């Protein structure tokens, strides 16, 4: 039932001889109140609730385990209805503007095979449905509410009220490649942005891709969300080695798609660049990156590699990271060194895939 849009629910109610406003009541219960049982929707008649319970399901994801980092980051191990495991990461930002971020998964595992990413070791089991994608948001919200979590966000007068919101930003940067599961990701975005539901603004949602070129332009045409490109190398030979997707869509094709991406007013494309010591962190790489991104409205996030036993790479020294950043700054790029959050619980960038990481650590010991 969580997969269905409001219009689809209206058609369902009309087919059952119900008034269209019942669809709105049902949609609000599912997507504002996060109900997990039709019997909880007491504004609907018992007869209708019983019928819906017989014919439909509400996918309720099970939180199996929560790990909390020393920095407050919370990693959720979540079980799907068929026994698969996925992970979501809640990142509180009380120290800045109080806006909290949830990193959500779009697939069970991943087919992209990026050699620096722990999730790649899981391979791809299956796509998540739209209900399972948004179900992570609802499950974490329910957990935070149960903990008594309070909203500490600084709300500007120009922004709509977010008094009740505990999760302000959503990033599709968890397990999986979002644009490899395009239709379900698109439906999940539409459901999350529905005014009768969570009513997220597209500016609060970021979708990250390793470079599924055929769907980059579609995302810009179908939604108004932010896009983040996992770039990570400045030559095709290097990118072929660490990101096999480059063998299908190379840097030339990727950059062309980025130049064609329809940016909203005052928006920029985010380029993520994972720095691997001695691999892609040289001055020459920095100058080549300038060449590739010249003329694109963008910002660059430099991510020093988060070491883990499923990948052979090392993190560069901070001095090297800052030298790389300095070259980009001198050439008038907006460039930031992304701080590591949750690495002590394997929740940092590139570290999702708890079972495989735990197996690897046991083997090493």
Q: Kindly list the catalytic residues.
A: 87, 349
CA-to-CA dists, residue 137 to 13, 32, 131, 158, 350, angstroms:
26, 11, 10, 25, 20
Write a three-state SS string for the chain.
CCCCCHHHHHHHHHHCCCCCHHHHHHHHHHHCCCCCCHHHCCCCCHHHHHHHHHHCCCCCCEEEEEEECCCCCEEEEEECCCCCEEEEEEECCCCCCCCCEEECCCEEECCCCCCCCHHHHHCEEEECCHHHHHHHHHHHHHHHHHCCCCCCCCCCCCCCCCCCCCCCEEEECCCCCHHHHHHHHHHHHHHHHCCCCCCCCHHHEEEEECCCHHHHHHHHHHCCCEEEEECCCCCHHHHHHHCHHHHCCCHHHHHHHHHHCCCCCCCCEEEEEEECCCCCCCHHHHHHHHHHHCCCCEEEEEEECCCCCCCCCCCCCHHHHHHHHHHHHHCCCEEEECCCCCHHHCCCCCCCCHHHHHHHHHHHC
Contact between 99 and 153 (Cβ < 8 Å) = yes
Length of the chain: 365
Residue that is written with structure tokens 């979590």 in the block: 149
Our CA angle for 295, 299, 300, nearest 5°, is 110
Angle, helices 213-222 vs 251-260, to 10°: value is 10
């Amino acid at each position: 039932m969580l997969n269905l849009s409001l219009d689809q629910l209206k058609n369902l109610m009309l087919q059952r001889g119900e008034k269209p406003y019942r669809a709105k009541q049902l949609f609000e219960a599912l997507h504002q109140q996060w109900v997990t049982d039709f019997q909880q929707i007491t504004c609907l008649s018992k007869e209708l609730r019983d019928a819906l319970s017989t014919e439909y399901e509400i996918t309720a994801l099970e939180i199996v385990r929560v790990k909390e980092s020393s920095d407050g980051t919370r990693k959720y191990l979540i079980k799907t209805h068929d026994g698969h495991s996925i992970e979501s990461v809640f990142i509180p930002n009380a120290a800045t503007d109080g806006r909290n971020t949830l990193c959500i998964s779009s697939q069970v595992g991943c087919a992209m095979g990026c050699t620096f990413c722990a999730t790649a070791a899981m391979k791809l089991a299956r796509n998540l449905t739209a209900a399972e994608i948004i179900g992570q948001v609802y499950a974490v919200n329910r957990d935070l509410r149960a903990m008594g979590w309070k909203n500490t966000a600084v709300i500007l007068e120009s922004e709509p009220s977010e008094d009740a919101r505990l999760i302000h930003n959503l990033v599709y940067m968890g397990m999986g490649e979002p644009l490899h599961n395009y239709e379900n990701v698109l439906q999940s975005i539409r459901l999350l942005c529905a005014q009768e539901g969570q009513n997220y603004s597209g500016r609060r949602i970021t979708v990250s891709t390793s470079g599924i070129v055929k769907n980059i332009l579609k995302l810009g045409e179908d939604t108004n969300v932010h896009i983040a490109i996992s770039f990570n190398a400045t030559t095709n030979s290097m990118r072929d080695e660490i990101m096999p997707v480059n063998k299908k869509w190379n840097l030339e094709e990727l950059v062309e798609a980025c130049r064609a991406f329809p940016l909203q007013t005052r928006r920029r494309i985010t380029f993520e660049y994972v720095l691997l010591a001695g691999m892609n962190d040289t001055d020459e790489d920095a100058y080549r990156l300038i060449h590739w991104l010249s003329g694109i409205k963008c910002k660059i996030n430099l991510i020093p590699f988060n070491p883990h036993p499923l990948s052979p790479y090392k993190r560069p020294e901070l001095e090297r990271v800052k030298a790389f950043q300095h070259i980009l700054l001198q050439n008038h790029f907006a460039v930031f060194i992304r701080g590591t959050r949750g690495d002590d619980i394997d929740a940092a960038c590139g570290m999702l895939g708890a079972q495989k990481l735990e197996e690897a650590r046991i083997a090493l010991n």
